[in-house]
Amino acid sequence: MDSHRPSPMCCCERIAVMVCFFLKCIFIAFLILRESTKFY
């Protein structure tokens, strides 16, 4: 009967994946900005 109830662990994992993806995008954007400022 526990499977019918949404587990908080699943919600936490979803939030963790979103945070990881957000941080990865920020890191990639930071690298791109740092690379682009090298040319000036």
Report the domain count for the chain. 1
- Residue 11 pLDDT: 76
What range does the domain containing 20 cover? 9-38
Report CA-CA distances (Å) from 29 to 16, 19, 24, 37.
20, 15, 9, 12
Residue 3 lies in a domain: no
Residue 34 lies in a domain: yes
Residue 4 lies in a domain: no
pLDDT digits (tens, 9 = 90+) for 8-34: 667 778 899 999 999 999 999 999 999
Model pTM score:
0.55
Report helix, strand or coil for 20. helix
Q: Comparing 24 with 5, which gets the higher pLDDT? A: 24
- Residue 39 pLDDT: 62
C-alpha span between 23 and 29 (Å, rounded): 10
Report residue 13 CA to chain centroid gap: 11
